[in-house]
Structure 1
Amino acid sequence: MSEPNRFLALFDQVVDQTIAFAELVDRAGYAAVPVDTPALFLGTRVDKIAIGALVRHLLLAEAHWFEQVRDVSPGGVIPFPSNAAALEGIPDGAPLLETYRRSYAERRSQLEALTEADLTKEIVFAGRRYTVIGFLWTVLGHHSFHLGQIDLLMRQQGIEPPEYMEWPEDQRVLG
């Protein structure tokens, strides 16, 4: 299995698992901030760490990054996502998760179309240099980091999330 296919196989699983986690939460739980401290402020991208905010952050950041890696010139800088207004009016719960599913399906097909030249070109994000494939692995780490936060927020609300790494996919070798 090629490295891009390994990446896609594993990223598919964390997206599916994130959605499976979030499907267990009622709409009120999406906004719950169990312990409200200034440390929960994540700047302009996420105002308060809550399940709904994290799902929106993942959706928007990944859509932005996956489009950028395709379009950025070699050596080019990928800006921070600044598209939070794109999800205004989409309620938490099933409508948000359906938006995430659609967005990921669209971006996934763009990732499948990346060539070897695309994957090995150097890019810059947050002042650090990456190859595109290296950046994509970093995006997987970013997603997993926030999935852990969603897990903790669910547990603080008395909701037991599915077991991590018991991926929905069980018929093929991953990675």
Structure 2
Amino acid sequence: MNMNDLERFCSLFDQQVRHTWATVSRLAPEKWANVSVETEATHLGARVKRITVEALVKHLCLAERAWLQTLPQALAGKELSPPQGMDALDNVTGSLEILSFYRDSHAAGIEMARSYGRDVLEREITALGRRFTIQGFLWAVYGHHCYHFGHIDLLMRQQNVTPPDFIELPETGEVIA
């Protein structure tokens, strides 16, 4: 199979997000809000002060949604604006409701990414003072997801729940990437 870089990103990113959903679905809903270890260093930026599976899943959902929706409007050579709408899930609790929102926003985001043209993918932007093409930044989005998947894995293990191995992606019959 001959995939271009965008197709490869969409396939692998979609598989990793679906793997994350399956992984967190193994965790009892009441354990989504547990904080296993809390120190001054356990926070994610300015907004997430308590790292929980719920906070991480919300963060992934909203950051990915914001990035995939706004990348086509990013201006060449300009700093990418921080994700907006990060409060969309502030009043949503419960694993089923959060995952339902995530599934819907992910489907829309992947569809949007698949529509990016070469002019969008090759555009150079700056994010956090680093230069990327938008195609390159998509791989940073994938890396961001995997980074936080590792946090989720650790939080689950601290609650005596064994997650699946990292690369146990849902697709077993087709080439993923």
TM band (smaller chain) = over 0.9
| Segments ≥4 residues shifted beyond 3 Å | none
**Percentage of identical aligned residues:** 39
Alpha carbons 2:63, 2:86 under 8 Å: kept: no
Deviation at 1:67, TM superposition (A): 1.3
Residues matched between the structures, number: 175
Structure with the bigger percentage of helix: 1
Letter in structure 1 aligned against 2:125:
I
Query: Which residue, out of 4, 7, 17, partners 2:6?
Result: 4
Alpha carbons 1:123, 1:131 under 8 Å: kept: yes
Residues 1:136 and 2:156 aligned together: no
> After superposition, what is the alpha-carbon deviation per residue over 1:25-54, rounded to whole angstroms, capped at 9, x for unaligned?
122211111111111122323221110000
Deviation at 1:82, TM superposition (A): 4.0
Letter in structure 1 aligned against 2:116:
L
- The residue aligned with 2:30 is 28
Alpha carbons 1:78, 1:125 under 8 Å: kept: yes
Alpha carbons 2:23, 2:163 under 8 Å: kept: yes
Structure 2: 5+ residue runs without aligned partners?
none
Mapping 1:25-64, distance limit 5 Å: 25-64=27-66
> After superposition, what is the alpha-carbon deviation per residue over 1:143-170, rounded to whole angstroms, capped at 9, x for unaligned?
0000011001001001111221111011
Question: The residue matched to 1:38 in structure 2 has which SS?
Answer: coil
Alpha carbons 1:46, 1:53 under 8 Å: kept: yes
Query: Which residue, out of 150, 153, 156, partners 1:154?
Result: 156
Which has the larger displacement, 64-73 or 138-147?
64-73
- The residue aligned with 1:113 is 115
TM-score by length of 1: 0.96
- The residue aligned with 1:165 is 167
Letter in structure 2 aligned against 1:56:
K
